Amino acid sequence: MTISGIKGFNDILPGEVEKWQHIEKVARRVFELYGFSEIRVPILEKTELFARSIGDATDIVEKEMYSFVDKGDNRVTMRPEGTAGVMRAFIEHKLHAIDPVTKLYYMGPMFRYERPQKGRYRQFHQIGAEVTGVTNPLVDAQVLTMLCHFFAELGLSEPRLEINSLGCPDCRAAYRGVLREFLHSKMDELCDDCRRRVETNPLRALDCKSSGCKAATSNAPSVLEHLDKGCAEHFAATRHFLEVAGTPYSINHRMVRGLDYYTRTTFELVTGMLGAQSAVAAGGRYDGLVSDLGGPNIPGIGFAMGVERVALLLAEQDFKRSPDLFIAALGEPARDQAFRLMSSLQRIGVSVETDYEGKSLKSQMRRSDKFNARFTLIIGEEELAIGRGFLKSMSAGTQEETPFTVEEIYLKVKGVDENKTC
C-alpha cells in the first residue's frame, strides 16, 4: 500500500516549480525597488491572533481554520492568511521603533479548510506586502502601483485594478445600519448565510455568490455615498495619486473584503482569464489592526496574491531551464576528463549535464536532446588522445573545435550567450 498526499494539499513538481520560482523572483525584485524587506513568520500561531484580527463573524474564523490543541494544551492555528502574523511580529519586535515607516513582504503557504474545488486548495500560497506607519493616501497609491507593476513585469496585461473605500469604523457603522435596513426589506430573497449575517456582518451580502443575493442587492446603497468627510477626502486623494502615478483603475463600490479589519481603501486585481471574473490579488488599509492586536495606534495597508492563481495566468509560458552544456563521454578515461571539466565549469557558473551510466553515444545524444542543452561536447578516445573535441551548438547546428580547457569552453559557451543578450 502506498501513501498518498492529503486532499487539497499539493506537490509542486519540477516543470511547474520553475514558474513559481519566476513569480517569487519577480516579486522580490519589484518589491525591493519600492523599499520592501522580506519577513518570515511562523506558520503556526495562537488561535486568538486570528480570531481577534480577522474577526469572529468571518467565514475564515467561523469554519475554515485548521485549529487544534497541541500537546501543551495550547489552542493553535495554521495561518489562514499572512497579515495577522506579520503584524504580531511587527508589534512583538517593536519594528516601529526602528523606523516609523515599515515596508515588509512575505511569501509562503496558508491553510484553510475549504471544500476542495478546482483552483481552491487547503494549502495554498500567498505573496503579500504590508506598509505600516503612513496614513497619507500617497502610500495607498504606491502600494497599488507596485502591485500593478508586478503583474506588468510578469508580462500580463490583466488583471485590472478595482478600488473601493469601506470608510473608518465611524462611517462604516453608519453605513452598516443603512445597509441592514435595506437588507431587512429583502430578507425573503437572501440565502441562509446572508440572512444569518444581516445582524453581524451585513456587508458580506454584497459579495455573496448566490444569484438571489446578487439580485436582491443590485441597488443596495453604496458605501461611497456614506463616507464621512475624512474618509471621502482620503479616497479622492488616493484616486488623485493613482492618476499621478499613471496607474489605471476602476471603482467597484460593491467590493467588500472577507476580513473585518479593513478600513478605507480596499482593492482587488480582477481578471476574466480564469473563467468567471475573479480576484488574483486583494487587500486594503487596516488602520485599526495594530492597536486591536495590542500594539500602538499605527495605521497599515497591504495586499496578498494567490500564487496558484498567478501561476495559472502564466500557463502559456514555459520556464523550464535547460543546461548550458551536455558532455558526452565514451569510455572510462574520457569519463574522467568529462567529470573534471564538468566540475570545474560548474564551479565558475556554467550549468552542465552528463550521462551517469556510460551508455552508447546515441543514447547520450538522446539525453542531451531531452535536456535541451545549448551545447554538446563529445569526448571519445580519439578526442582524448589529441586533447581537443568538437563543441556543438544545438540551436545553430554548427560545431567548433575546442581544447579541453575550462577557459576556452567557458568563453565559447557563455560568450555566445552574452552576445545574444546584447
Tell me how many helices (H) and strands (E) the chain has.
16, 16
Cβ neighbours of residue 327 closer than 8 Å, sequence gap 6 or more? 338, 341, 342, 352, 353, 354, 376, 377, 378, 379
Closest approach of Cβ 277 to Zn ion, in Å? 17
Closest approach of Cβ 206 to Zn ion, in Å? 9
Residue pair 274/292 in contact (Cβ under 8 Å)? The answer is no
- Report d(CA 111, CA 64) in Å as an integer: 8
- Report d(CA 229, CA 237) in Å as an integer: 12
Closest approach of Cβ 302 to Zn ion, in Å? 20
Closest approach of Cβ 57 to Zn ion, in Å? 14
- Report d(CA 351, CA 370) in Å as an integer: 15
Closest approach of Cβ 183 to Zn ion, in Å? 10
Distances (CA, A) of 373 to 326, 345, 366: 6, 15, 11
- Report d(CA 278, CA 164) in Å as an integer: 16
Residue pair 293/383 in contact (Cβ under 8 Å)? The answer is no
Closest approach of Cβ 164 to Zn ion, in Å? 14
Closest approach of Cβ 172 to Zn ion, in Å? 7
Closest approach of Cβ 168 to Zn ion, in Å? 3
Nearer to Zn ion, 194 or 345 (CB): 194
Nearer to Zn ion, 65 or 223 (CB): 223
Nearer to Zn ion, 102 or 164 (CB): 164
- List helix spans (H) across 299-402: 307-313, 332-347, 361-371, 381-386
Nearer to Zn ion, 229 or 362 (CB): 229
Q: Following DSSP, what letter does each residue of 21-51 receive, concatenated?
A: HHHHHHHHHHHHHTT-EE----SEEEHHHHH
Among positive and negative, which fits the CA dihedral 228, 229, 232, 237? negative
Strand locations in 180-322 (E): 250-251, 263-271, 278-285, 300-306
Residue pair 100/133 in contact (Cβ under 8 Å)? The answer is yes
Residue pair 299/135 in contact (Cβ under 8 Å)? The answer is yes
Nearer to Zn ion, 79 or 172 (CB): 172
Among the listed residues 32, 43, 9, 26, the one whose alpha carbon sits nearest the alpha carbon of residue 308: 9
Nearer to Zn ion, 179 or 384 (CB): 179
Closest approach of Cβ 394 to Zn ion, in Å? 58
Amino acid letter, 383? E
Nearer to Zn ion, 103 or 172 (CB): 172
3-state helix, strand, coil in the chain (%, to 5): 45, 20, 35
Q: Give the DSSP H or E segment for 165.
A: strand 160-165
Nearer to Zn ion, 88 or 234 (CB): 234
Nearer to Zn ion, 86 or 194 (CB): 194
Which residues are near Zn ion by CB under 5 A? Answer: 167-168, 170-171, 191, 194, 208, 210, 213, 228, 231
- Report d(CA 241, CA 219) in Å as an integer: 30
Closest approach of Cβ 197 to Zn ion, in Å? 8
Nearer to Zn ion, 219 or 421 (CB): 219
Closest approach of Cβ 229 to Zn ion, in Å? 8
Angle at which helices 17-33 and 137-153 cross, to 10°: 140
Nearer to Zn ion, 44 or 224 (CB): 224
